């Protein structure tokens, strides 16, 4: 995921793990159990070639509230276990 804040990260994370929490879209009640990570999380960032990461994500990462986003996604991952 490349979501810009903790709330959108949580919402998208819940959607692809437990189904659409708003019960408004095609994933309403459809549990996909997909693992959710943000592109800036260390375990994902380490899998991307550094130059490409800097080119595509580096600037955005500077302005993101990364700890809040990471925390929100950790909670989603823990709730789906």
Q: Is the dihedral of CA 13, 15, 18, 21 positive or negative?
A: positive
In the prediction, which pLDDT does 32 show? Answer: 94
- Tell me, what's the pLDDT at 57? 95
pLDDT in tens, 13-33: 999 999 998 888 899 989 999
Query: What b-and-e string marks burial along 31-70, b requiring 16 or more CB atoms within 10 Å of the CB?
Result: eeeeebbbbbbeeebeeeeeeebeeebeeeeeebeeeebb
Q: What is the pTM of this model?
A: 0.87
């Amino acid at each position: 995921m490349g979501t810009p804040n903790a709330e959108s990260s949580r919402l998208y994370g819940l959607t692809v793990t437990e189904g659409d929490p708003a019960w408004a879209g095609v994933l309403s009640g459809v549990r996909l159990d997909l693992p959710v990570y943000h592109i800036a999380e260390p375990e994902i960032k380490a899998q991307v070639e550094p130059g490409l990461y800097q080119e595509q994500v580096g600037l955005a990462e500077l302005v993101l509230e990364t700890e809040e986003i990471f925390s929100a996604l950790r909670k989603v991952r823990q709730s789906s276990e």
